[in-house]
């Protein structure tokens, strides 16, 4: 099994310590897993996970070949962690990607990959990295480290994913400990990322003589999620208290009947029988950042699905147009060939080098011609008259 030098950089960034509990979330074919086991001196525990069982066959083969004894192989979806297993000291996620960094070795990627594919893989990478962070124990004495890597050079799959995680979980980026490589982008076109994204490392084939690669190293600060909604809820509570105080002042100016009806409505509202339109407006105006982001993600997914459908329809239309054009071209070529053949035949006939084209005679006409061969027309007339005379004699 040959692996690029760049694919070993994430393991160097992970820097495992003997005796730790480590998760390799996307392990197949096992190159990084075996390197982690070597650095851990065959101690501790490594969980080598991959979604597809057929890919894990290569992982098991490499583990046996290299004599690794501290690895458990598993075939689970990365999104199921930490429900399946958690409290890891370190997690390595070499995420599935578009493979734009290995075009020098596989040039078919240039034709196969589209912008829609990159958007889909970026969405999957965000989900997997969230679960990878959740699988790590922030209170680990030696670890609390997450390393994220891809064999792609696209910003959508690298800096954008890292910046997204910094806003969703209580983590920070640290230096990956790699002497080579270039710093990650903090700004790209109209996008602006967190300044700490510069601590991530990029590798390019034309400058570092290895595959295009990206490595980011996180340290988990706490096991709690970053909830941007908490501040919004506190503000909403303050507003509600202010509104209630204003309402009590206004109640003093109302009659007893009006006050009684308002109190009834309040009781119904508190019990849930009546919905308040004002509260709905307040909720819609003061929507938390997380809800907005979820809506944006759903819209992006819908756009991606629509774009994929449109692209498929366009491809089908283009394929039909190509088939029709080929058919027309073939028909034109056939007509030209037929004309050329007829012209050639006529030329040969004129020169006398070829027998003239004979007209196909029907079978009935052929039979009649064969019967009429060698018969004199005058004799045929006499024969007919004789037959008539003979008939007359027979009658007499």
Catalytic residues: 151
Query: Alpha-carbon torsion 259, 265, 269, 270, what sign?
Result: positive
Tracing tokens 């002042």 back to the chain, one arrives at 249
Measured CA to CA, the distance from residue 264 to residue 243 in angstroms comes to: 18
Report the Cα 228 to chain-centroid distance in Å. Answer: 29
How many CB atoms are located within 10 Å of the residue 113 CB? 18
Least Cα distance to 175 among 193, 151, 189, 196 occurs for: 196
CA distance 396 to 386: 15
Can you list the positions of beta strands (E) in the chain? 21-24, 45-49, 71-74, 90-94, 145-150, 169-174, 182-183, 187-188, 191-192, 201-203, 213-225
- Taking CB atoms within 8 Å and a gap of at least 24, the contacts of 307-310 are 307/116, 308/116
CA 225 to centroid of chain Cα atoms = 28
């Amino acid at each position: 099994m040959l692996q690029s030098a760049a694919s070993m950089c994430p393991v160097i960034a992970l820097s495992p310590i003997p005796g730790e509990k480590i998760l390799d979330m996307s392990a197949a074919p096992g190159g990084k897993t075996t390197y982690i086991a070597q650095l851990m001196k065959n101690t501790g525990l490594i969980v080598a996970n991959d979604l597809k069982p057929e890919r894990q066959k290569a992982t098991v083969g490499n583990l046996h070949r290299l004599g690794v004894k501290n690895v458990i192989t598993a075939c689970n979806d990365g999104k199921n962690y930490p429900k399946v297993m958690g409290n890891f000291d370190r997690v390595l996620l070499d995420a599935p990607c578009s493979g734009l960094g290995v075009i020098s070795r596989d040039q078919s990627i240039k034709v196969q990959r589209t912008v829609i594919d990159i958007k889909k893989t970026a969405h999957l990478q965000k989900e997997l990295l969230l679960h990878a962070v959740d699988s790590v124990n922030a209170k680990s004495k030696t670890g609390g480290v997450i390393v994220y890597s891809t064999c792609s050079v696209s910003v959508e799959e690298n800096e954008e994913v890292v910046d997204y995680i910094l806003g969703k979980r209580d983590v920070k980026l640290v230096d990956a400990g790699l002497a080579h490589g270039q710093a990650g982008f903090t700004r790209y076109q109209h996008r602006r990322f967190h300044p700490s994204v510069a601590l991530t490392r990029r590798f390019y084939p034309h400058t570092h003589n290895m595959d295009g690669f990206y490595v980011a190293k996180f340290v988990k600060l706490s096991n709690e999620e970053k909830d941007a909604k908490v501040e919004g809820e506190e503000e909403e509570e303050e507003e509600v208290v202010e509104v209630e105080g204003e309402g009590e002042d206004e109640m003093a100016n109302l009659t007893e009947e009006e006050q009684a009806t308002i109190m009834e409505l309040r009781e119904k509202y508190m019990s849930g029988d009546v919905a308040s339109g004002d509260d709905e407006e307040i909720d819609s105006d003061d929507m938390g950042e997380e809800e907005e982001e979820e809506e944006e993600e759903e819209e992006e997914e819908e756009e991606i699905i629509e774009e994929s459908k449109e692209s498929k329809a366009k491809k089908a239309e283009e394929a039909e147009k190509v088939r029709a054009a080929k058919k027309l071209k073939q028909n034109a070529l056939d007509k030209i060939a037929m004309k050329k053949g007829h012209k050639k035949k006529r030329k040969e006939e004129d020169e006398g080098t070829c027998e003239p084209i004979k007209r196909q005679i029907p079978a009935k006409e052929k039979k009649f011609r064969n019967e009429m061969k060698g018969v004199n027309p005058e004799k045929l007339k006499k024969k007919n008259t004789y037959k008539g005379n003979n008939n007359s004699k027979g009658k007499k």
